[in-house]
Amino acid sequence: MTSLERTRAAIAGDDYDRLPVQPMLITFAGRHAGIPFGECCLDGEIR
């Protein structure tokens, strides 16, 4: 299963072989929340 197939399956609620990883999502989410990228990487529970 390719990464694109895995991601599409996860979005659709279908079965997939392992968790899809989207490393760029943390960049977007951190920027949207006003949290610096470095803090996002160091603390997974930051809000």
Taking the C-alpha atoms of residue 26 and residue 4, their distance in angstroms, rounded to an integer, is 18
pLDDT in tens, 2-30: 988 998 998 899 999 998 877 777 788 88
Give the other-Cβ count within 10 Å of 11's Cβ.
9
Q: Which has the closest alpha carbon to 30: 12, 18, 43?
A: 43
Write down the domain spans for the chain.
19-47
> What is the pTM assigned to this prediction?
0.47
SS (H, E, C) 1-47: CCHHHHHHHHHHCCCCCCCCCCHHHHHHHHHHHCCCHHHHHHCCCCC
Tell me what pLDDT residue 31 has.
85
pLDDT class of 44 with cuts at 50, 70, 90 = low
8 A C-beta contact, residue 10 and residue 21 = no
